[in-house]
Amino acid sequence: MNDKVIGIIGGMGPQATADFYMNLIKKTNAKRDQDHFRVIIDSNVKIPDRTEAILHNGESPVKAMVETAKNLEMLGVDVGCIPCMTAHYFIKDIEREVSYPIINAFVEVKKHICEFYPKIKNIGVLATTGTIKTGLFEKYLINANVIYPKDATQKEKVMEAIYGSEGIKSGVTEGKPVQLLEEAANELIDKGAELIILGCTEIGLVLKHEYMGIPLIDPMEIVIDTLITG
Is the pTM of the predicted complex or chain greater than 0.85?
Answer: yes
Geometric angle at alpha carbon 165, from 46 and 20, rounded to 5°: 50
Write out the catalytic residue numbers: 84, 200
> Which pLDDT belongs to residue 2?
78
Query: Closest Cα partner for 9 from 97, 68, 86?
Result: 68
Q: What is the DSSP letter of 75?
A: T
Whether the domain at 5-104+222-229 and the domain at 105-218 fall into the same CATH topology? yes
- Architecture in CATH of 5-104+222-229: 3-Layer(aba) Sandwich (3.40)
What percentage of residues in the chain have a pLDDT greater than 90?
87
Residue 109 CB coordination number (10 Å)? 22
Report pLDDT digits (tens) over 45-87: 999 999 899 989 999 999 999 999 999 999 999 999 999 999 9
Q: If pLDDT is split at 50, 70 and 90, which confidence band does 10 have?
A: very high
Domain ranges of the chain: 5-104+222-229, 105-218
Q: CB within 8 A of 155, min separation 6: which ones?
A: 129
Nearest 5°: the CA angle 41, 178, 104 is: 35
pLDDT of residue 34: 95
Per-residue model confidence as pLDDT tens digits over 141-172: 998 999 999 999 999 999 999 999 999 989 89
Hey, which CATH number is domain 105-218, 3.40.50.300, 3.40.50.1860, 3.40.920.10, 3.30.420.10? Answer: 3.40.50.1860
